[in-house]
Amino acid sequence: MIDNKKVLFSGMQATGNLTLGNYLGALKNWVTLADDYLTFYCVVDLHSITVRQDPAELRKRARNLLMLYIAAGIDPQKNCIYYQSHVSGHSELAWMLNCYTYVGELNRMTQFKDKAAKHADNINAGLLTYPVLMAADILLYQADVVPVGIDQKQHLELTRNIAERFNSIYGDVFTVPDIYLGKAGRKIMSLQDPSRKMSKSDENPNASIYLMDDKDTIIRKFKRAVTDSVGEINYTDEQPGIKNLLDIYCSCTGKDTEAAVSEFSGCGYGDFKLAVGEAVASELIPLQQRFEELSKDKAYVDSVIKENAEKASYYAEKTMRKVRKKIGFPERIR
């Protein structure tokens, strides 16, 4: 807890293009959290280089992601929005925590196994120690809560283990974080395979709606969305494609599921998919317009980057001074 507020930390990788799933499942719900938490939203660029990146493209995507945070409604005056690579404490603490993490723990991480299989030609040490850097991200700001999906839950458990291990040796140094249990966004699935989550890395361009897709593209993708042969609009696991479209529609309109099902009673799939596409386009157009405004205001975006990096560094350094002292490193002469 800092300044009488609990601390919430989260972030997104600066790779790929954000999808509707990223927006409805996370970004849209981050907007109001500053009322109750001291929030840190990181543009995760250090994690991104476990896979080879084009330098110019990585810089561009990182800046675009930061602007999308703001365009989505996350106020940089109320929230700390910053680049992970601009706060040296992330890397410094990650090295220290590596020395309090066991190789056996890292070998059990399912994401390491998955990524090693996908990138067999580049199984670097960063892939293995990725969860330790994630632990450093969280513990650096003494985060009380972290919004995580099922795929990251194992990493948060490791973070808790590392924090408790360090605390058992040196005393009360780190806050042991919990999973954020507040309002969660709906889980948005692929438009082409509703058994899988919508992903920015999906090879099928029709599977995902990207935040910068224009209206025509959005409508076209929804027209091609997988449904079924039932011919009725019901919110049931037996109709995963229809259920996913209803989730999307409700998330964009604010309507509850029962009202949406009633609204589309007797409606054909074609008209239903068109209505969902229209709702999504209406939701994203203001975000896209704000993004374009930010893209043209370099001075403002640069000022956000500078001021928020300083704010993040201030809080990070408070933790690092404590950690360095506990471990036994020489005091820095200022």
For the chain, give the mean pLDDT: 92
Q: What percent of the chain has pLDDT over 90?
A: 78
For 24, counting Cβ atoms within 10 Å of its Cβ (0-12 exposed, 13-18 middle, 19+ buried), the class is buried
Catalytic residue among 28, 115, 243, 273: 115
Task: State yes or no: is 183 an active-site residue.
Answer: no
Is 197 annotated as catalytic? yes
Residue 107 is predicted with a pLDDT of 86
Between 48-62, 161-175, 215-229, 282-296, the lowest mean confidence (pLDDT) is in 48-62
For the cut 70, the answer to whether the pLDDT of residue 285 exceeds it is yes
Per-residue pLDDT, averaged over 2-20, amounts to: 89
pLDDT at 112: 67
d(CA 93, CA 72): 30
Residue 115 has pLDDT above 90, yes or no: no
**What are the DSSP calls for 163-222, one per residue?**
HHHHHHHHSS-S---EE--S--PPPPBPSS-TTSB--TT-S-TTS--BTT--HHHHHHHH
Nearest residue to 202 via CA among 18, 3, 52: 18
Residue 119 pLDDT: 67
Distances (CA, A) of 107 to 91, 114, 124, 148, 152: 21, 11, 13, 21, 15
Strand partners, 43: 12, 83
In this predicted structure, what is the pLDDT of residue 171?
96
Residue of 197, 221, 243, 273 with catalytic role: 197
Question: Which residue, among 50, 34, 25, has the nearest Cα to 211 in the 3D structure?
Answer: 25
User: Judging by DSSP bridges, how do beta strands 6-13 and 37-44 pair with one another?
Assistant: parallel
Q: Please answer whether residues 81 and 70 qualify as being in contact, where contact means their C-beta atoms are separated by less than 8 angstroms.
A: yes
pLDDT at 48 over 70: yes
| Active-site residue, selected from the candidate residues 5, 78, 187, 200 | 200
Instruction: Name which of 93-102, 146-155, 194-203 the model is least confident about.
Output: 146-155
In this prediction the pTM is: 0.91
Task: Decide: 282 and 275 in contact? Cβ < 8 Å.
Answer: no
Would residue 243 show up in a list of annotated catalytic residues for this protein? no
The pLDDT tens digits of the residues spanning 212-271 come to 999 999 999 999 999 999 999 999 999 999 999 999 999 999 999 999 999 999 999 999
- pLDDT bin (cut points 50, 70, 90) of residue 183 is low
pLDDT of amino acid 108: 86
